[in-house]
Amino acid sequence: MNKNIITALILFLVGTAFVLQDDTLTTDRNFERQNDNDRSTVSVIRVEGTIGPTSMQYIERGLRKSIEAQDEAFIIELDTPGGLLDSTQDIVQILLGTEHPTVVFVSPRGANAGSAGTFITLAAHVAAMAPATNIGAASPVAMGGGEMDTVAQKKIFSYAESYIESIAEQRGRNAEWAKSAVRDGASITSSEALELNVIDLIADNLDDLLTQMDGMEVEGKILNTRDAEQNRIPQTLAEIFFSFILRPEVMLILTLVAIYGIIGEVTNPGGIIPGVAGVIALILLLYGVAAMPINLAGFLLIGLGIILFVAEAFTPAFGILITGGAVAFFLGALMLFQDLPDEMQISLYWLIPATLVTAAFFAWIVTYGVKSLFAPVRSGLESTIGKTAEVTDSILPGQSGRVFFDGEYWTAESDKPLNEGDICEIVEYKGLRVVVKPLTKKQENPDEQN
């Protein structure tokens, strides 16, 4: 059975790899077919939500495909409240390091290029916004999250100001306003951004954007985008999956699955499924930890909480260690994502139930599971102690009778009187006799009473 499970798991992983590979090859072939004509083309991707490692990978892949297809331009439709500073820097380096025409279009109406989005928009060759959109509020606190002391705050603000100034100067945009977006958290509308030379144009939609871009010169190339064919590059299944697991609430769930699975395998060796699930969750969690700026103190507190939970199973602390473990787990999970932007920090609606479930898990399952590892080994007749038997011949103090269990009749004795049909519990064995005690009366059949 265990071999079948492991074989099925391997086949699943291999099959998934082939599916991902086939999906990528299919996308590439479709992409090449769409570009096999004389009509000018542009590649378009949509980046929305928090900027993170998967956003950077998606942009890098989209730009590479656009270059291979010899597009007129590579367009990023952007709508983001902000994101991680490291990922933002990687994206800015990609945009500044290419001669292929790049366009960031903040859309649709009501969209926002906040925080990290401001850096990305300014780094494109062409910056455009839809009406009723906003850009700005690029303060490092919003991008990096967490608390900073005065010295650290001055350093990060100074770095961010000079960084965004260099980006604006590189693209010939308003460097003073860019610095104010970092220093003062300034945020402006699309019309104000156009007036202040923060962006190049305002477009109602993608078609309007292509029309207005037609004839613009970028890196010595005159764009021919009017009526250009729009080739959208979707996210791959892998990018969607890894973007999903990097969400804080999903990482919290992975933490719980890793804990439950590994502890479940330790307390019940041979279960396979809990152990496999726990190890997979742990590997995915480590990937997330490597990709995200996770607070180490949070992990240490979660580890302390687990130690206290397990210690409760061996120490008669009357719930004190369980309570302490729950507090440590809660504070650790809260601190775990402290260094992330506000929009990426975990909600209490997830954290409180997770803490309660974990405390209940260790109070109930781990207490009995871990204790069973150190319980005396029982075999043969000893393994039946605690089981129930049915009285077939009445038993009186000092007078033996008979009981039936496991398909056999046994001579039995008891300190309490037991009548025929009573249910009793096996206490111990004395040679070929079994000692029992009363448990419950066997319920009479209602039909027999009538």
Q: What is the pLDDT of residue 379?
A: 57
Question: In which element (H, E) is residue 403 found?
Answer: strand 401-405
Chain position carrying tokens 């103190």: 297
d(CA 103, CA 93): 15
SS (H, E, C) 44-62: EEEEECCECHHHHHHHHHH
* Backbone φ and ψ of 388, nearest 5°: -105, 155
The pLDDT profile of the chain, 450 residues, written as one tens digit per residue, is 444 454 455 445 544 544 444 444 444 434 444 444 568 999 999 999 889 889 999 999 999 999 999 999 999 999 998 888 888 999 999 999 999 999 999 999 999 999 899 999 999 999 999 999 999 988 875 444 444 556 666 778 888 899 999 999 999 999 999 999 998 889 999 999 999 999 999 999 999 999 999 999 998 899 999 989 999 999 999 888 988 888 888 888 888 888 888 877 776 777 788 888 989 998 988 888 777 777 788 888 888 988 888 787 777 667 788 888 889 988 888 887 776 666 667 778 888 888 888 888 777 766 665 566 566 655 567 777 888 999 999 999 889 999 998 888 999 999 989 999 899 999 988 888 999 999 865 544 444 444
Q: What is the pLDDT of residue 287?
A: 84
CA–CA distances in Å: residue 220 to residues 71, 99, 216: 15, 9, 10
Q: Tell me the domains of the chain and their CATH numbers.
A: 33-239 (3.90.226.10), 246-373 (no CATH), 380-443 (2.40.50.140)
Helix (H, G, I), strand (E, B) or coil at 107: coil
Q: What is the DSSP string of 215-276?
A: T-EETTEE---TT-EEEE-PPPHHHHHHHHHTSHHHHHHHHHHHHHHHHHHHHSTT--HHHH
Helices (H) and strands (E) in the chain, counts: 17, 16
Closest CA to 239 of 4, 2, 23: 23
Q: What residues form DSSP beta bridges with 147?
A: none
d(CA 46, CA 114): 16
d(CA 266, CA 326): 21
Q: What is the pLDDT of residue 42?
A: 96
Closest CA to 251 of 259, 11, 425, 96: 259
| 41-48 β-sheet, strand order | 201-202, 126-129, 102-106, 73-79, 41-48, 229-232
Direct distance between the N- and C-terminal alpha carbons of the chain, in angstroms, rounded to an integer:
50
d(CA 432, CA 437): 17
Q: What is the pLDDT of residue 144?
A: 45
d(CA 120, CA 387): 70
Q: Compute CA 220 distance to the chain's CA centroid, rounded to the nearest angstrom.
A: 44
Q: What is the pLDDT of residue 7?
A: 42
d(CA 319, CA 363): 8
Whether the Cβ atoms of residue 133 and residue 81 lie closer than 8 Å to each other: no
Helix (H, G, I), strand (E, B) or coil at 83: strand
d(CA 432, CA 450): 40
Task: Kindly report whether the peptide bond that precedes residue 417 is cis, defined as omega within 30 degrees of 0.
Answer: no
